[in-house]
């Protein structure tokens, strides 16, 4: 197992002993606890607790005979169970968090919020984009260069959810962007295409903007974005979008938008 995979499993909540025991079961399904402990180097005093935790977390199932035998669940099944569990927990706790903490945030934090924020990391940026789009009332403008092609998968559900509200959505895409991305957005927004676009962003009602940047010099692999509700910056971004839109084409390299 690579260190990357081991780190991912740890991030998903498995301990080193649990990872070793699960991998041992993948190699020898239907093993007894003592055999799993020996193959995985998990101490005998810990192996039953480790297997019980794996079963509780959805990675292992047991056959209660004498002696008990243990079987690994497929990684895809375990991940799906984990996803459903996290979504269920988030949904059940969301109401409490929003009802109690959002009023405090709206009364205090927003009063002292700076005009410009730097947002770091893919998930933080996508969350900020989704949060901003949720506040959209009239018009949503999006620029997606080819370097940000993967963003399309994340914004499609959000755009689809606001489409029925009568919000006008225009999306400007790089001319060499993949056909699959175009298919996902077709019917959800007005599309145009332009050559050699490098920057990207989202403009909400000409009053709020998220500018998508590359990585910083200190950490090139960490995505950066600028969020702002400064009237001047949002207005400039809107005007620049209109300039690009006027020069753009309704087709991308012979493909119908």
* Same structural domain, 173 and 224: yes
* Same structural domain, 121 and 33: no
> For residue 100, is it within any domain?
no
What pLDDT digit, counting tens, does each position of 54-92 carry? Answer: 999 999 999 878 888 999 999 999 999 888 888 888 888
* Same structural domain, 121 and 67: no
> For residue 61, is it within any domain?
yes
Q: Which two tokens stand for residue 180?
A: 């699959």
Mean pLDDT (whole number) for 98-103: 83
pLDDT of residue 90: 86
> For residue 90, is it within any domain?
no
Give the CATH number for residue 47. Answer: 1.10.10.10
253 pLDDT more than 80: no
Instruction: Answer yes or no: are the C-beta atoms of 38 and 44 closer than 8 Å.
Output: no
pTM, 2 dp: 0.57
| Bridge partners for 227 per DSSP | 117, 210
Q: Domain ends where: 40, 73, 106?
A: 73
Mean pLDDT (whole number) for 131-142: 89
> For residue 182, is it within any domain?
yes
* Same structural domain, 130 and 59: no
* Same structural domain, 21 and 124: no
**Angle 8-12-14 from CA coordinates, rounded to 5°:** 95
- Compute the mean pLDDT over every residue in the chain, rounded to the nearest whole number: 83
Q: Domain ends where: 23, 49, 73?
A: 73
Please report, rounded to a whole number, the percentage of residues in the chain having pLDDT higher than 70. 85
Domain that holds residue 246: 115-256
Place of tokens 């025991």: 21
* Same structural domain, 135 and 226: yes
The total of structural domains in the chain comes to 2
Place of tokens 């002993």: 17
Look at residue 121 and give its three-state secondary structure.
Answer: coil
From edge to edge, which strands make up the β-sheet containing 190-194?
116-120, 223-228, 208-215, 200-204, 139-144, 168-174, 190-194
* Same structural domain, 155 and 222: yes
Q: Where are the alpha helices (DSSP H) in 170-230?
A: 179-185
Give the CATH number for residue 245. Answer: 3.30.870.10
Mean pLDDT (whole number) for 168-194: 79
> For residue 15, is it within any domain?
yes
What pLDDT digit, counting tens, does each position of 143-165 carry? Answer: 887 666 666 677 777 777 777 78
């Amino acid at each position: 197992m690579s260190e990357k995979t081991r780190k991912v499993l740890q991030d998903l909540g498995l301990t080193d002993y649990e990872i070793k025991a699960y991998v041992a079961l993948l190699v020898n399904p239907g093993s007894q606890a003592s055999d799993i402990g020996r193959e995985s180097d998990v101490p005998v005093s810990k192996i039953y607790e480790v297997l019980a935790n794996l079963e509780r977390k959805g990675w292992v199932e047991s056959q209660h005979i004498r002696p008990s035998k243990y079987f690994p669940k497929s990684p895809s099944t375990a991940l799906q169970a984990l996803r459903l569990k996290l979504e269920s927990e988030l949904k059940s706790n969301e109401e409490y968090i929003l009802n109690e903490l959002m009023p405090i945030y709206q009364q205090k934090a927003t009063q002292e919020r700076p005009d410009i924020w730097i947002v770091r990391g893919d998930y933080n940026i996508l969350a900020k984009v989704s949060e901003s789009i949720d506040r959209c009332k009239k018009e949503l403008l999006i620029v997606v260069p080819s370097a940000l092609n993967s963003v399309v998968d994340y914004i499609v559900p959000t755009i689809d959810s606001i489409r029925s509200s009568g919000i006008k959505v225009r999306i400007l895409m790089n001319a060499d962007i993949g056909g699959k991305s175009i298919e996902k957005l077709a019917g959800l927004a007005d599309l145009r295409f332009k050559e050699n676009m490098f920057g990207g962003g989202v403009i909400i009602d000409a009053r709020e903007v998220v500018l998508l940047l590359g990585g910083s010099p200190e950490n090139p692999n960490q995505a950066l974005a600028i969020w702002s509700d400064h009237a001047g910056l949002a207005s400039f971004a809107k005007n620049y979008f209109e300039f690009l839109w006027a020069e753009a084409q309704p087709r991308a390299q012979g493909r119908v938008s």
